[in-house]
Structure 1
Amino acid sequence: MRKSTIGIVILSIILVGLIIPMGFSGQVEPVVITYGETTHANTDYKNTVDNFFKTQANADMANAKTKIVTADEVNKISSSITGKTYTSGQIFSSALLDLNDNKELQVSVDKSKITTITGNMYISALKSSGITSGHVYVTSPVTATGESALAGIMNAYEEATNVKIPETVKEAANTEIYTQSEVVQNSNATADQISDLVDDVKETVKEENVTDHQTIVNIINNYTIVNNINISDSDIENLATSIEKIQNVQGDVNNFETEISTVLNNTTDSNAISDFLSGLTG
């Protein structure tokens, strides 16, 4: 009996050595919360946000890593895209990232508070960045567009995986969010219509490796006609510019996607071997 137990332990150690890379321990923080600095500074606001996360996410909030998203961080993005400048009293949107739910990318948005950016818009922008897994929850203590939340979500992924998202990729993804938001506000099209339109165009542009601006404009025009979406020529131009920007950073996106996939796949392997060892000792 003793020999059998020793044999199982040795086999387990060998399997661990084969599956889990050296130095992996502690590499991933499975749950990260990013608070807008206005929310974090106000106890009532923070409690409102935390209550949403507690009721919606099946996550270990007690051991979650937290980070504060400042107006300066948001302004680095928004000022170059929309020209908007926020103060430290205007950053409300907050997000929780749960990498334990790691099969596919999901985004759950508090629709009672986030008025413009939808879950599909966040998913589209995150996939443009090379992020394809994890469950994200987005809320705010007061009504907000949700535009600044993408900065927090990206910070959460960086904190969770210790993998830096290239600045070129961040800028392209944020341009996509802000542009879609503006188109929704400028037109009678719904947020989901614009999100689906952008996804269709991005897929075509990527498959055909299109980098020419006018060609992208023509593709957008074709999709608006087919799907009976009425948006202005200037909105089409802006969408084309944002999609062109995404296409131009595909090299950086691919490199980041490879790096983050390696980290997340190692996490999955770690969970699998843990389950295996529990089965042996249970």
Structure 2
Amino acid sequence: MRYKRILTFLLMFSLIFPSLSFADATPGDVIITLGQDLTETQKEAILKEMNAPENPQTVVVTNAEEHQYLGNYIPKARIGNKALSSASITIGEKGSGLDVTISNHITLITEEMYANALITAGVKDATIYVTGPFDVSGTAALTGIIKAYEISSDQVIPEDVKQIANEEMVETTKLSEKIGADDAAALMAKIKDEIAKNAPKNDEELRTIIVNAANDLGITLTDADIDRLMDLFKKLMDLNIDWNQVGEQLNLAKEKLTNFLESEEGQSFLNKLKEFFVNLIDAIKNLFK
């Protein structure tokens, strides 16, 4: 599972809009996004949880903004009437990739879903931590991170890009309810990977990519699932992504995977995994003695 999550993240890291970056921010800079409806006590607790620096640059997210970007894809009742989820964004070195971590208080959106949507919006090279004052969906955090990106980079993300990033996150969430979060995120990443390698020329070729990606991952999709994914990726392809650059980034992602597995950290992980299974087998054998 850990290996699969690593591979999923690496695939997603590579699927970016090269023209967008934290160009005007310095590595190590921290931007905090806070839901507007947090109480002062909740804000203080969240800032402490994030280990936020003194007087950090702060971006406030409103519930109206949540509805603006998610209202077309999620029922209003599910979005709610308060903006509470918050995030810490630490700018990384160029080429360091995107690292997303969530607390146990984020109940609807997974790390992979945030990463996938943020990469679509053009966010990269940052460490992001998402949390809330108690169990919350996490929808406000995505809006806040994208908003913080615009402020920190002094660039405006086109509205259609913001919309498709949110739509992608919601579609991945819907799929996760049927096939699991890891498989849903892996499927989205694999489809993008195949589009980067073999740009479909028509709807039939796009459908083939989606179906083959699902089959390769052992995922069963209904016709309705395929139609929704077709609609999403047709919109994504209309955003003029530099797919040649995507292919180059995929090669870098493969190198990162190889480097991880050959690194001390990677070898330690593999050894612990092997040790776990050896102990598990021994425990099973002991049951029958």
The answer to whether the superposition gives a TM-score over 0.5 is yes
Tell whether 2:44 aligns with 1:47: yes
Q: Which among 182, 194, 197 is matched to residue 187 of structure 2?
A: 197
Tell whether 2:102 aligns with 1:109: yes
Distance in structure 2 (CA, Å) of the matches to 1:73 and 1:194: 26
Counterpart residue number, 1:77:
69
Tell whether 2:222 aligns with 1:229: no
- In the TM superposition, residue 138 of structure 1 has moved relative to its aligned partner by 0.7
Q: Deviations over 1:111-131 (max 9, x none)?
A: x11123222222222222232
Distance in structure 2 (CA, Å) of the matches to 1:28 and 1:99: 7
Q: Quick check: which has more Rg, 1 or 2?
A: 1
- TM-score normalized with structure 1 length: 0.69
Distance in structure 2 (CA, Å) of the matches to 1:194 and 1:146: 18
Change in CA separation of 1:179 and 1:106 when aligned onto 2, cut-off 3 Å = same
Counterpart contact for 1:101–1:135, Cα < 8 Å: no
Stretch moving more, 140-149 or 90-99: 140-149
Q: Which among 89, 99, 110 is matched to residue 118 of structure 1?
A: 110
Q: Deviations over 1:66-85 (max 9, x none)?
A: 11111111111112223436
Stretch moving more, 139-148 or 160-169: 139-148
- In the TM superposition, residue 218 of structure 1 has moved relative to its aligned partner by 2.6
Partner-residue secondary structure (3-state), 2:129: strand
Counterpart residue number, 2:33:
34
Gap runs ≥5 in structure 1: 1-25, 55-59, 255-282
Give the aligned CA root-mean-square deviation in angstroms: 2.7
Alignment of 1:173-252 (within 5 A): 173-185=165-177, 187=178, 189-210=179-200, 212-251=202-241
Counterpart contact for 2:121–2:146, Cα < 8 Å: no
Q: Give the fraction of aligned pairs with identical amino acids, expressed as a percent.
A: 27
Change in CA separation of 1:116 and 1:211 when aligned onto 2, cut-off 3 Å = farther
Counterpart contact for 2:92–2:125, Cα < 8 Å: no
Distance in structure 2 (CA, Å) of the matches to 1:174 and 1:241: 14
- In the TM superposition, residue 168 of structure 1 has moved relative to its aligned partner by 1.5
Q: Which among 124, 129, 149 is matched to residue 132 of structure 1?
A: 124
Partner-residue secondary structure (3-state), 2:182: helix
Gap runs ≥5 in structure 2: 1-22, 245-289
Aligned positions, number: 220
Change in CA separation of 1:71 and 1:245 when aligned onto 2, cut-off 3 Å = same
Distance in structure 1 (CA, Å) of the matches to 2:173 and 2:48: 27
Q: Deviations over 1:140-179 (max 9, x none)?
A: 1121222332111101111222111111211111110011
Counterpart residue number, 2:269:
none
Opposite residue 49 of structure 2, the aligned amino acid is F
Partner-residue secondary structure (3-state), 1:96: strand
Change in CA separation of 1:253 and 1:214 when aligned onto 2, cut-off 3 Å = closer
